[in-house]
Structure 1
Amino acid sequence: MKREMKETHNKQMDEIIKSYTSNKIKIIFGNTNNQ
């Protein structure tokens, strides 16, 4: 039970990190493109 909770938590963290990093990349590339 606890292991399942941890696995779903890790998956959620992965999704958050992925979306966060992709947003960061978009912002960085957007800034360089605008200059």
Structure 2
Amino acid sequence: MECVLAYVADLGSFLHGFSYLFLTEWGLKKVTTAIIH
């Protein structure tokens, strides 16, 4: 059971980091586009 919880926690932190990177990249693109246009 502990293994499953640890796996879920790892998956959660991975998804959180992934979505954070995705949002950051998306935000940077929006800012860059706003500056260029």
**Which TM-score applies when normalising by structure 1?**
0.95
Once the two structures are TM-superposed, the CA of residue 32 in structure 1 deviates from its matched residue by 0.3
* Percent identity of paired positions between Structure 1 and Structure 2: 0
Structure 1 gap ranges (5+): none
* Equivalent position amino acid for 2:27 in 1: I
**Which TM-score applies when normalising by structure 2?**
0.91
| CA-atom RMSD in angstroms | 0.4
Aligned residues: 35
Q: What residue number does 1:16 align with?
A: 18
